[in-house]
Amino acid sequence: MNKKRKINLAYFWAMIAVTTLLVFVSLALALLPRPSESELENRELAAFPKFTVESYLDGSFTRDLTKWFADTVPLRDNLVELSGQIKELEGIRQDNVKFHGNVEIVKADDSDEIPEVIVTTAPPKAEIAEADTAVTEVLVTEAPAVTIPGLSETVTAPPAEDQTMEFDNNGIVTVGDRSFMLFGGSKSQGKYYADVLNAYKISLGENVNVYNMVVPTAVEFYLPAQYSDYSNSELTQIKNIYENLVGVTPIDAYSKLASHTGEDIYLKTDHHWSQLGAYYASTAFAEVLGETVQPITDFEAISRDGFVGSLYGYTNDIKIKESPEVFTYYKQPLPYTTEFFNYDTLTSRGFGQLIYEAAAVDNSYAMFIGMDAVHTHVVTENKNGKRLTVFKESFGNALIPELIPYFEEIYVIDIRFFGMNAIDYMKQKNITDVLFINNIFAANTQSLIKHIDDLRFGSVGVKTETIATTAETPVTTAPIVESVTAAETVVAETLPAETLPPETLPPESSPPAMPTLLSPE
Amino acid sequence: MVFSELIFIYAFLPLFFIFYFLSRNLTYKNIVLVIFSLVFYAWGEPVWVLLLIGSTLCDYFNGLFINKHFGTKIAKLGVAASLLVNLGLLAVFKYGAFFTETFNSLTGLALPVHELDLPIGISFYSFQSISYIVDVYRGKVKAQRSFLKFMMYISMFFQLVAGPIVCYDTIEKQIEHRDISSTNFSKGLIRFCIGLGKKVILANSLGALADEFLGKALPQSTLGAWFGVIMFALQIYYDFSGYSDMAIGMGRMAGFTFLENFNYPYISGSAREFWRRWHISLGSFFREYVYIPLGGNRRHKYLNLAVVWFLTGMWHGASWNFILWGCWFGILIILENLFLGNILEKIPKFLSVIYLLFAATLGWALFYFTDLSQLGVYLSAMFGEGSVKFIDELTKTAFLNNLFVIIIGVVFCTPIVPKIKSFFEAKPERVGVYATGQAIAACFVLILSSILLVGATNNPFLYFRF
């Protein structure tokens, strides 16, 4: 009996201990203020759902309530970081390597079937100038003749893949203090991309020069050799695109980057390149343009410490958080003005800074050209009569300041946000040169290529709607918006919290969001 | 709602126990339990909660009907009606599309296939109803006259959605008299925390790893294929047994004693033993309500075994791979009955355990792939056929990146905890130490799990599919 009483007493105290903990945490969760956004992940947290009969009946109310409760836990960001530290204890890293997400062996897909060519109803008919295939030696070693008989305003149909399936992302790998996405590209997508660009050339006519720069990403240069099975060769895919171009001049950024891999041409904790990398790419463009390259020493280099980029949020890998890097940006010394416009109405938002230096440290890459969701117009003091349109995703942002010496005006169009007829717009602005600059992941993403194609007809004029309906989606650029509005000189009106088009968002239910390179910075 | 959700642990559960223990008498307690259970169920099934109430009403009246006509042939009508309703609902909701597709492919017809969403937990609660009705018919238990109590038995949120399948006779007495004490509450709470940890700390990590390897179009290497399916074997064990621990723990906190559902299945030396240790409540159900009525060991034993294992496989899901999985165990068990069992008993224990682990692991591959052609690709990679490598860098890296979780996962598959427990309980002066240790472990696991839950976003229970 004595034993029994002893046991009961011991369990009584055990009960008090565990119950106290449970009650304490319950009260904390019930009473402490809840955050509404996460700095760590750069997104708005789930909102408290609105109760309606429909939302109850379809189950979304209780689902969203559950999500809200977990997503907005007090001290969330600290706990998520702590969770990352705990996760690190789950194992060890050999050679400092850790894989994140669904990584697989990618086979070079030479067998890719090129889908049938479907004639689209592109209005203008134009003679194509003899295809300019002056790709630099490194890129085209075995360049086949790119004269495609009968190629006119035709665009390869998107390969018959599931629309929701993204080829590009094959997981993320952390090697020491550098992380990057593994690449699983496809030749058919590359052909599609090239065909769309060719169609632009046809629509714009002989007098407009069309250039294409496809940018390799860090995985191409920094993946240890023993893991080469897990990432496709970006060079092969870039070559494939360049070989399929007709009348569009390729810009060999690859070789320039490849010869500077010892420098910080890519960010180590972010999926973007650095401005230095963009500078080297710009020299390839300048050479093709026949211009004297502006030396990097002309720029004012400014460094900021403690930058931790997007890949930490995507992987929650504490090693990334624990190795912040130096973010260096370069200010263009030549005089110029920058004006921002709304994409939907093309009304001016006022003049601003091309490089917004007050951007928060962890948002450093967002300092270039304001943000993706505004249309940027740069006027330089150069009077060479050349007016450039740049079609880009976020990789292009860091390139714009380096293009200033070579053009009189630069119109920057983000391919995800512009919704008007791009051909008409460029004709109206008397554009003389067009540059497509996309990273190889983007140039292999079907939904995005389709978007570029659609822009020829202006059939994507739905941006305002897209933005409005996706306002509650988690990926927003809200913090960037704040910083832009903070600059006195800039934007007159407050920018709405803009979001990416839905196709670039990961599916709602997918666990830790594995991004494409099109994610917001 | 699932148990490993913060809102469940830190809002629903505390509120439930506050109301439950504030209720002075048993009727109030029962009302609280039923209301909370219905809210719990409606959280995930806002519409089908009506189906739950409807089918419960049906079985309630059938039970009374059988009781009234006990011992007469009319009583059979009640059983038939109940089986019709419960199996009918399962046939429509769970197997409707599967039956139509199979029928279409056999006959070449093209009947429209309606994919219905499976109401959560229907496989579990309809089996509980059946066990009740059959036991009333057999005179093993008395029909429950109070609808409230019967509703409580069926809908108790502890075991409503993912088991264990609690047969009525095992808790008949507890419906009237519950043993509520601080010791029970304490042990139940500790059990709940440990179950939560199994789910959140182990199953979620191992599951992510398993999906990484099993979810690919092509296995990366032979060792990678084995690694993936072994991770899945660990995941499904911790997932499901963790859920059962939580259910049993909460039941104990509220004064119920549920039977154990898992007993270290991976130390079994035969498939027969495995099924006495794995999902015990399901095995007992099929033995009690299918195998024995068919004639058990006495009449056409092997046919009976075949039927039971076919049905066991089918219960796990409306897909051929589950049936294959059931049949795989059926074949092994028949072989063990014929001659294999004798051999297994004679060879050293570790060899028979290796046999079982090999058999179970292969089984999990069948279990994982609903697409049979994918299964074929995977199995051939496991056995080194085709062009796959023997080992790849990803497998090595993934193994090392998760080394400690894997070690912990393997260690706790063995009955190390009961060994520690019996050591401490051997002497009275050690008992306090053990209880203190348990409390510390529970707090630690609860905190760790909660942090990981904040860090994660998505961790649905595997067994929700069934």
Same domain assignment for residues B341 and B399: yes
Same domain assignment for residues B302 and B348: yes
Pairing of strands A387-392, A433-439: parallel
Q: Which domain holds residue A411?
A: 112-262+333-504
Same domain assignment for residues B422 and B280: yes
CB B346 within 8 A of CB B284: no
- Is position B316 annotated as part of the catalytic site? yes
The CB density around residue A26, as the number of other CB atoms within 10 Å, is 17
Chain A, 230-289: which have a CB under 8 Å from a chain B CB? 230
Q: Which of A2, A4, A22, A98 to mutate to test the interface with B (most CBs of B within 10 A)?
A: A22
How many Å lie between the alpha carbon of A78 and the closest alpha carbon of chain B?
10
Classify residue B386 by burial, with Cβ atoms within 10 Å: 0-12, 13-18, 19+. exposed
**Could you give the C-alpha distances from B373 to B212, B340, B380, B456, in angstroms and in order?**
19, 30, 11, 32
Does A220 reside within a domain? Answer: yes
CB contact under 8 A, A82 and B190: no
Does A219 reside within a domain? Answer: yes
Does A150 reside within a domain? Answer: yes
- Tokens found for residue B255: 């004064």
Please identify, among B162, B178, B194, the residue that sits at the C-terminal boundary of a domain.
B178
Nearest CA in chain B to A227: B393
CB contact under 8 A, B401 and A30: no
**Chain A / chain B CB contacts < 8 angstroms:** 185
CB contact under 8 A, A14 and B186: yes
* pLDDT tens series, chain A, 521 aa: 567 777 788 888 888 888 999 999 999 988 998 888 877 766 777 888 888 888 888 888 988 898 889 888 888 888 888 888 888 888 888 777 877 776 766 654 444 444 433 334 333 333 333 333 332 233 322 223 222 233 333 333 333 333 222 334 568 888 888 988 888 777 778 888 999 999 999 988 888 999 999 999 999 999 988 888 888 888 988 999 999 999 999 999 999 999 999 999 999 998 899 999 999 999 999 999 999 999 999 999 999 999 988 888 777 788 888 899 999 999 999 999 998 888 877 888 888 888 888 888 888 888 888 767 788 899 999 889 999 999 998 899 999 999 999 999 999 988 888 878 888 889 989 999 999 999 998 888 888 888 888 888 875 543 333 333 333 333 333 333 333 333 333 333 333 333 333 333 233 333 333 334 444 33
Same domain assignment for residues B123 and B196: no
Nearest CA in chain B to A54: B46
Same domain assignment for residues B59 and B87: yes
Could you tell me which of B18, B51, B19 has the C-alpha nearest to residue B160?
Answer: B51
How many Å lie between the alpha carbon of B239 and the closest alpha carbon of chain A?
17
A32 inside 8 A of chain B by CB? no
CB contact under 8 A, A18 and B439: yes
Same domain assignment for residues B260 and B384: yes
Q: How far apart are CA A282 and CA A251, in angstroms?
A: 9
Same domain assignment for residues B427 and B299: yes
Same domain assignment for residues B284 and B406: yes
Q: Tens of pLDDT along B257-280? A: 999 999 999 999 999 999 999 999
Q: What does the DSSP assignment read for A394-438?
A: GGGGGTHHHHGGG-SEEEEEETTT--S-HHHHHHHTT--EEEEEE
A12 neighbourhood in chain B, CB within 8 Å = 182-183, 186
Please identify, among B178, B200, B232, the residue that sits at the C-terminal boundary of a domain.
B178
Does B143 reside within a domain? Answer: yes
Same domain assignment for residues B116 and B162: yes
Nearest CA in chain B to A509: B458
Return mean pLDDT, chain B: 88
Q: How many domains does chain B have?
A: 2
Nearest CA in chain B to A231: B394
Which residues, 6 or more positions from A393, have their beta carbon under 8 angstroms from its beta carbon? A372, A414, A415, A416, A438, A439, A442, A448, A517, A518
What number is the ipTM of this complex? Answer: 0.82
Q: Nearest Cβ partner of B454 from A12, A83, A105?
A: A83
Q: How far apart are CA B182 and CA A17, in angstroms?
A: 12
A316 neighbourhood in chain B, CB within 8 Å = 455
A62 inside 8 A of chain B by CB? yes
Instruction: Give the three-class secondary structure for A337.
Output: strand
Q: Tens of pLDDT along B198-240? A: 999 999 999 988 988 888 767 778 888 899 999 999 999 999 9
pLDDT at position A107: 56
Q: How far apart are CA B231 and CA B204, in angstroms?
A: 11
CB contact under 8 A, B46 and A99: no
Residue B339, φ and ψ in degrees, nearest 5: -150, -30
Does B10 reside within a domain? Answer: yes
Please identify, among B178, B205, B236, the residue that sits at the C-terminal boundary of a domain.
B178
Q: Which domain holds residue B154?
A: 6-178
Q: How many domains does chain A have?
A: 1
**Which of these is catalytic: B114, B177, B300, B316?**
B316
How many Å lie between the alpha carbon of A96 and the closest alpha carbon of chain B?
10
Does A2 reside within a domain? Answer: no
Does B466 reside within a domain? Answer: no
CB contact under 8 A, A70 and B453: yes
How many Å lie between the alpha carbon of A105 and the closest alpha carbon of chain B?
7
Element (H, E) at B372: helix B372-382
Max CA separation in chain A (angstroms): 102
Does B341 reside within a domain? Answer: yes
Does A86 reside within a domain? Answer: no
How many Å lie between the alpha carbon of A516 and the closest alpha carbon of chain B?
18
Residue B223 one-letter amino acid: L
